[in-house]
A and B are shown apart, each in its own frame.
Chain A
Amino acid sequence: MAAQTHSREVQQTTLDPTLLAVLANRFEAIVREMTQTLLRAGRSATISIARDFSCSITTSVTGQHELLAAAEGLPAHIYGSHLQAQAMCELHPDLAEGDAFLHNDPYLGNSHPADHTILVPVFCEGQHLFTAVAKAHLSDIGNALPTSYMPAARDVYEEGALLFPCVCVQRAYADVDDIIRLCRRRIRVPEQWYGDYLAMVGAARVGERKIQDLVAKYGSETIKTFVHEWLDYSERRMIHAIRQLPGGDVIGTGRHDPFPGLPDGLPLKVEIAIDTQAGRIAVDLRDNPDNVAGGANSSEACSISSVMQGIFSALDPDVPHNAGSFRRIHVKLREGCVVGIPRFPHSCSLATTNPANRLVVITQSAFAELGDGWGTAEGGVAQNAGYAVISGTDTRRNGAAYVNQLILGGNGGPASPGCDGWVTYGIAVISGLLYRDSVEIDEQKYPLFVKSEKLAQDSGGPGRFRGAPAIEAEYGPKGDPVTLTFPMEGYETPAKGARGGQAGSRAWAIKIDRDGSEIPLPNIFTGDLLPGEFIRYRDCGGGGYGPPTERNPEDVRRDVLERWVSVEQARVAYGVVLTGSIEDETLAVDQEATRELREQLGK
């Protein structure tokens, strides 16, 4: 990645500072408007319930394609959008107003094939100044199996996805029907795909119109100056944020659990060099294994976005996330590396989740090595049955077919130096941004019956600040069999604690037969559940931060009262002895016994 090639002199702004702030707001507002359009008009639950999509605007004003604005998009979706805009220009020298492109090619800048991207070049006064990007995770993209995640695919051919290497899908604002027909033929539940496609095009076109209005109002010269100055400003913020850190080199390590093509798991290493003087961070991912014969290879976009997300999680959250701040991060990648630039035809089917989740948590927790007060623990990474892609037919709707990804679960978020983990964290790459399914909506839309969904006691990693608990849930088919696929991680390697904090609990899944017998499931599951069968599972708890014996005993008491922590764990892990009962709210800390126990535990 050439993150440093473009670096204007850091200087004070020449644009009226008020206008700088105003225009920055306007671009963010345009992205939010695109986001609203896609959220409400999207057809699949993945988009319209879970919000698994992102919109962004890239600019070519600086002479190359750079990310300008992304509002609250998912890091895995947006940090590579400039690569896609670049591909669009290189492949289509005849680019014209009214064009739109469909791009889901991970060898050409996309995150993974299930993320369909619509790119609309935005022309102002005849010049292509911006690109409006709408990207959504789709539940089906024509894979060999009815799922958007193909962990066992040896290569792109076994994976089976339709790949669109930035293909023209609209000309003069009208669909290129050949492409639409191709998708409708090969993608399951084509009406759902087409509805999602319309929503994406709608969002990108809204962005186009609004950018053109803005440029018409302020003039293209002012807007160009703004782009330069805004990216420079973002760079200054980044330099300042990096200078707050203690300098030094840290190495984060971790391991992805065994997977198809990875019988021993996948050891991962993130080498981080922080130069506070220069205000730069370099990350080296090259000392990692080669591409594997499975779906867990990272794409270039995801290798970059995962470490970026980890780094930004360790800095002032107010720093703008765009090409300006990216200039201060140099990510070193190797072609043919499992977390680098993928070599065709290795499959990147799981690039946005495995090993992206691991890269994110390894990176953000590596910063804890700098000292107490920095970084975070690790968050949970299990993409378990609660995130399964389900498919089948529904007799309640005259046998209508469906395919969709559930969001009926969730891992615990990592504890930080200042607070406990975020409960609705999802997985690391989501970091709380996605919405969760309503049980009632899921049961209405699919022939499913959800028996329970609750947070598991003692599952959050103990620490001075506690990791958030994991969700434990159970569901099964109602009248029709349901095909289920999920690639679970985190069943061996939990979310680690940081600076003396402990790990969260591990993930698991079991099938419950009609006779009530419990069958442990492999971490990669593809199969049918029949009516009367259920699947029960638990995701990972988040890691704790700091020694648990340093947690305020009153907070431990409150955790026990609220049933996050058992009386037993309060004593064993936190060294807190309690008296009284939860039922009549007389629970109290035995100060003396707690002091003694903590002294013992400290030895």
Chain B
Amino acid sequence: MNGMAQYRIAIDVGGTFTDIVVADTTGRMTIGKGLTTRERLFHGMEQGLTVVAQQLGEPDVPTLLSQADLFIYGTTTATNAVVEGKTGKTAFLTTAGFPDILVLREGGKTNAYDFTAPYPEPYVPRRLTFEVRERVNAEGEVVVPLDVEHARSILKRLRAQHIEAIGVCLVWSIVNPTHEATLGRLIEEELPGVAYTLSSQLNPIIREYRRASATVIDASLKPLMQHHLREIAQDVSRAGFRGEILGATSSGGVMPIQELAERPINTIRSGPALAPVAALHYARAEVGSRDVITCDTGGTSFDVSLVRDGLIKATRETWLGGQWVGHMTGLSSVDVRSIGAGGGSIAWIDPGGLLRIGPHSAGAEPGPACYGRGGARPTVTDAALVLGYLNPAYFLGGQMQLDMEAARQAVGTIAEPLEQTTDQAAQAILTIAGEAMVQAIQEISVNEGIDPRETLLVAGGGAAGLNMVSIAQALGCPQVLIPRTAGALSACGAQYSDIVAEFSLSRLAVTDDFAYTEVNAALQSLHAEMDTLESELRGRGLRNFKRDFFVEARYPTQVWELEIPLEKDRFDGPQDVAALVQGFHRVHERVFAVKEEGAEVECLYWKGRLSGLLDRMQPDRPPARDTPRGTMPHAHRSVYFAGQGRTDTPLYLGSALEPGMQLHGPAIIEEPTTTIVLYPHSVAQVAPLNNYLISIP
């Protein structure tokens, strides 16, 4: 994966746009965007690659590809397939007596008074769920032996029903996986070639719903993703690429795509998972910060994630299609909270006279009123246009002309009942839309015991710059970093990611009577799994590896675990156990504001993370300048700011700004893929690596 290559290519295929970021040997990033072509994704990539090739002075895409050693690929294909129910026809095999694990989920509902929402369907229909006669208990003892003949009869029926994939999750397979393993063999005998996933192999965690959910999602994706990843590999190599293709994963890392095809669930939400990787990289490089909140504002959603002390926050509770009503992936992955807030969110006035934003969205059709496609209701984009934040002639890099008059009329429909001017109403729309974002940020940081006031905010996405300054103000964040590559933050993250693989196993140990032998054996077996992968990666030319170990633990009788990093990979004596206990108390106090000194700690899962470190193309650091310099704007525009009214505001082109320059708000910076609104009293500095660092008053 090393060698004399000129380029490294990262691609993030989203719902609307395909983002491309190409790094050259100096670490310079070149961005290209293409429209996503869902019938054959490579066509959209080619579009974007053509743009990049031109910027880099390469004659064509094959020449560009032939000089690259790495091609990192992130895609929403799996996420879309799950949400839209377009995966392979999948059956679910489970322990007799528990056919409704996927129906019942874990309970929970958002509104106790709402009887208008239907109960959500299970991921696998009940008619494709089959009860296998067997049972293991919590101690791993076989209570009911596996009825092999009965199992075979189920599989024969599945063959008749043309099942394409099978997920197997038996109760307590995490302590005794033999029945699942036997079923795996039976599937290979009875249904050769049919994809299957065993829960004890994929995700050996306690709680039958989330383990089963992960298992059926993974199985259902195998036919689709194995075909898809093969197709991409063919398309890319046919176009001239000769290097290694890596795929982005939900843990914010990358993996060889052959490995990913075996665990396609790991590609779910892999794009959003890479945004904090980029954010952390920039935060470290520009200001040495290790605590980072990352926001990525797209057209329809706002994603937030968190980095604490240099570690990206993970969760096992990622839902696809909404908390409690969708499907949980159950795997440890980057914790990305997503809310449906974007430029298309509609503003309305409720019967009590209160201004509300969303949840209805104008989407792309008819879109905001200013698109001139028949939308009449005011949206966040209309408000931004009215206020002068957006340039009507330079939207989407000039691809679209915006209709100011239509936007003013739409916003006017709510200004009147609010007894406000159109400007005031537009400002109110942006503030209240920002409020939902403020809350999303607060919720994720609060859960981790992090104070946003002591944390750097990194903002990405096309709409990142519109209201990030006021969001930071509401949170009390002192600084916001907006990278030049904000418009393609996830693809950029792929450029800074490493190969990351996680392995976990469940072994109960209590710190008062610590099972040294069993725990050390568990950690040893994690090492063994990592050895296998590491030697394979070494065969592909990777040289630098890192191993980290974690335990998920709790106080006795608690039910939710906390993840504690381990200082060592074995326990040699009481001092090592004491270190674990102390670490647990510390984390518990940070997260819950209380701890119980003297209490023992129950350890449940042991987790090992293997990182295969990819060489970076290191950027040249320009010499720092002693005094900040100003610069001249290229134009002025009338812009409305709260508390200040209309102001003739200077506009700056991003391409004219260099490290060391300083701009005072009010001002607007126009970048090809994003617009940054500097509110009055805020100050933007072009940081040493050419990104924007904004200080909030």
Taking beta carbons and an 8 Å cutoff, which residues of A are in contact with B?
12-13, 17-18, 20-22, 25, 29, 32-33, 36-37, 39-45, 48-49, 51, 72, 74-75, 191-192, 195, 198-199, 201-202, 205-206, 233-234, 236-237, 240-241, 309, 312-313, 315, 317-318, 321, 376, 396, 402, 407, 410, 413-414, 416, 418-424, 426, 430-436, 438-441, 443-445, 449-455, 468, 471, 474, 478, 561-564, 582-585
Q: State whether A312 touches B113 (Cβ < 8 A).
A: yes
**B window 159-192: CB within 8 A of A:** 160-161, 171-172, 174
CB contact between B125 and one of A44, A236, A471, A562 (< 8 Å): that residue: A562
Q: State whether A445 touches B557 (Cβ < 8 A).
A: yes
A29, A439, A561: residue with the most chain B Cβ atoms closer than 10 Å: A439
Q: Which residues of A contact B108 (CB under 8 A)?
A: 51, 424, 432-435
Q: State whether A585 touches B161 (Cβ < 8 A).
A: yes
- Main SS at interface, chain A: mixed
CB contact between B126 and one of A36, A318, A424, A563 (< 8 Å): that residue: A563
Q: Which residues of A contact B558 (CB under 8 A)?
A: 41-43, 48, 195
Q: Which residues of B contact A431 (CB under 8 A)?
A: 109, 112-113
Interface assignment of B428: CB less than 8 Å from any CB of chain A: yes
CB contact between B355 and one of A17, A198, A318, A433 (< 8 Å): that residue: A17
Q: State whether B137 touches A443 (Cβ < 8 A).
A: yes
Show 17 A/B contacts (Cβ-Cβ < 8 Å), sorted by A: A18-B355, A18-B431, A22-B474, A29-B442, A51-B108, A72-B110, A201-B594, A433-B109, A438-B209, A441-B206, A445-B559, A453-B97, A454-B100, A471-B104, A562-B126, A563-B127, A583-B157
**B window 126-162: CB within 8 A of A:** 126-127, 137-139, 143, 157, 160-161
CA distance A420 to B447 in the complex (A): 35
Q: State whether A198 touches B594 (Cβ < 8 A).
A: yes
CA distance A452 to B95 in the complex (A): 9
Q: State whether A424 touches B105 (Cβ < 8 A).
A: yes
Q: State whether A40 touches B355 (Cβ < 8 A).
A: no
Interface assignment of B622: CB less than 8 Å from any CB of chain A: no
Q: Which residues of B contact A434 (CB under 8 A)?
A: 107-108
Interface assignment of B51: CB less than 8 Å from any CB of chain A: no
Interface assignment of B446: CB less than 8 Å from any CB of chain A: yes
Q: State whether A44 touches B119 (Cβ < 8 A).
A: no
Interface window among B226-234, B345-353, B563-571 = B345-353
A41, A205, A321: residue with the most chain B Cβ atoms closer than 10 Å: A41
| Minimum CB–CB distance for A24 against chain B, Å | 8
Q: Which residues of A contact B606 (CB under 8 A)?
A: none
Q: Which residues of A contact B405 (CB under 8 A)?
A: none
Interface assignment of B540: CB less than 8 Å from any CB of chain A: no
Q: State whether B592 touches A199 (Cβ < 8 A).
A: yes
Q: Which residues of B contact A441 (CB under 8 A)?
A: 206-207, 559
CA distance A309 to B111 in the complex (A): 11
- Top 7 nearest A-B pairs (CB, nearest first) are A452-B97, A432-B109, A436-B107, A416-B115, A240-B351, A317-B114, A41-B592
Residues A561 and B138 in contact in the complex (CB < 8 Å), given A192-B557, A313-B115, A435-B107: no
Q: Which residues of A contact B174 (CB under 8 A)?
A: 440
Q: State whether B207 touches A233 (Cβ < 8 A).
A: no
Q: State whether A421 touches B119 (Cβ < 8 A).
A: yes
CB contact between B439 and one of A29, A49, A439, A452 (< 8 Å): that residue: A29
Given contacts A72-B111, A75-B112, A453-B100, 12 further A-B contacts (CB under 8 A): A18-B431, A40-B560, A40-B592, A234-B352, A237-B351, A423-B104, A424-B105, A434-B107, A440-B208, A453-B97, A471-B104, A474-B97
Q: State whether A438 touches B119 (Cβ < 8 A).
A: no
Q: State whether B116 touches A418 (Cβ < 8 A).
A: yes
Taking beta carbons and an 8 Å cutoff, which residues of B are in contact with A?
96-100, 103-119, 125-127, 137-139, 143, 157, 160-161, 171-172, 174, 206-209, 350-356, 418-420, 427-428, 431-432, 435-436, 438-439, 442-443, 446-447, 474, 555, 557-560, 588, 591-594, 596
CB contact between A424 and one of B107, B354, B428, B593 (< 8 Å): that residue: B107
Residues A195 and B557 in contact in the complex (CB < 8 Å), given A12-B353, A317-B113: yes
CB contact between B428 and one of A18, A32, A423, A439 (< 8 Å): that residue: A18
Q: Which residues of A contact B418 (CB under 8 A)?
A: 17
| Minimum CB–CB distance for B85 against chain A, Å | 15
Residues A25 and B439 in contact in the complex (CB < 8 Å), given A17-B354, A33-B446, A49-B559: yes
CA distance A561 to B129 in the complex (A): 12
CB contact between B555 and one of A195, A423, A585 (< 8 Å): that residue: A195
Q: Which residues of A contact B143 (CB under 8 A)?
A: 449
Q: Which residues of A contact B591 (CB under 8 A)?
A: 40
Chain A minimum-CB-distance residue to B139: A396
Residues A236 and B171 in contact in the complex (CB < 8 Å), given A414-B115, A438-B209, A561-B127: no
Residues A21 and B354 in contact in the complex (CB < 8 Å), given A48-B560, A202-B594, A454-B97: yes
Q: Which residues of B contact A192 (CB under 8 A)?
A: 557
B105, B113, B115, B127: residue with the most chain A Cβ atoms closer than 10 Å: B115
| Minimum CB–CB distance for A379 against chain B, Å | 9
Residues A317 and B104 in contact in the complex (CB < 8 Å), given A18-B355, A454-B97: no
Q: State whether B138 touches A443 (Cβ < 8 A).
A: yes
Q: State whether A440 touches B103 (Cβ < 8 A).
A: no
| Minimum CB–CB distance for A505 against chain B, Å | 16
Q: Which residues of B contact A43 (CB under 8 A)?
A: 555, 557-558
CA distance A456 to B332 in the complex (A): 34
Q: State whether B137 touches A21 (Cβ < 8 A).
A: no
Residues A195 and B596 in contact in the complex (CB < 8 Å), given A18-B355, A29-B442, A424-B107: yes
CB contact between B171 and one of A36, A241, A413, A439 (< 8 Å): that residue: A439
| Minimum CB–CB distance for B595 against chain A, Å | 9
CA distance A313 to B116 in the complex (A): 10
Q: Which residues of A contact B99 (CB under 8 A)?
A: 454
| Minimum CB–CB distance for A277 against chain B, Å | 17
Q: State whether A440 touches B172 (Cβ < 8 A).
A: yes
CB contact between A416 and one of B116, B137, B439, B559 (< 8 Å): that residue: B116
Q: Which residues of A contact B588 (CB under 8 A)?
A: 41
CA distance A168 to B106 in the complex (A): 37
Residues A444 and B592 in contact in the complex (CB < 8 Å), given A317-B111, A416-B116, A562-B126: no
CA distance A32 to B438 in the complex (A): 14
CA distance A32 to B125 in the complex (A): 34
Chain B minimum-CB-distance residue to A422: B119
Chain B minimum-CB-distance residue to A201: B594
Residues A438 and B118 in contact in the complex (CB < 8 Å), given A29-B439, A205-B593: no
Residues A237 and B107 in contact in the complex (CB < 8 Å), given A25-B435, A43-B558, A422-B119: no
| Minimum CB–CB distance for B506 against chain A, Å | 10
Q: Which residues of B contact A37 (CB under 8 A)?
A: 592-593
CB contact between B107 and one of A20, A198, A202, A432 (< 8 Å): that residue: A432
Q: State whether B447 touches A36 (Cβ < 8 A).
A: yes
Q: State whether B116 touches A419 (Cβ < 8 A).
A: yes
Q: State whether B592 touches A433 (Cβ < 8 A).
A: no
Q: Which residues of A contact B109 (CB under 8 A)?
A: 422, 424, 431-433
Q: Which residues of A contact B443 (CB under 8 A)?
A: 29, 32-33, 36
Q: Which residues of B contact A430 (CB under 8 A)?
A: 112
B100, B109, B126, B420: residue with the most chain A Cβ atoms closer than 10 Å: B109
Q: State whether A419 touches B115 (Cβ < 8 A).
A: yes
Q: State whether A198 touches B596 (Cβ < 8 A).
A: yes
| Minimum CB–CB distance for A73 against chain B, Å | 9
Q: State whether A36 touches B113 (Cβ < 8 A).
A: no
Q: State whether A444 touches B206 (Cβ < 8 A).
A: yes
CA distance A470 to B690 in the complex (A): 62
Q: Which residues of A contact B207 (CB under 8 A)?
A: 438, 440-441
CB contact between A455 and one of B103, B354, B420 (< 8 Å): that residue: B103
Chain B minimum-CB-distance residue to A312: B113
Q: State whether A22 touches B593 (Cβ < 8 A).
A: no
Q: State whether A202 touches B592 (Cβ < 8 A).
A: yes
Q: Which residues of A contact B206 (CB under 8 A)?
A: 438, 440-441, 444
CA distance A39 to B591 in the complex (A): 12
Q: Which residues of B contact A318 (CB under 8 A)?
A: 350
| Minimum CB–CB distance for B293 against chain A, Å | 16
CA distance A449 to B172 in the complex (A): 12
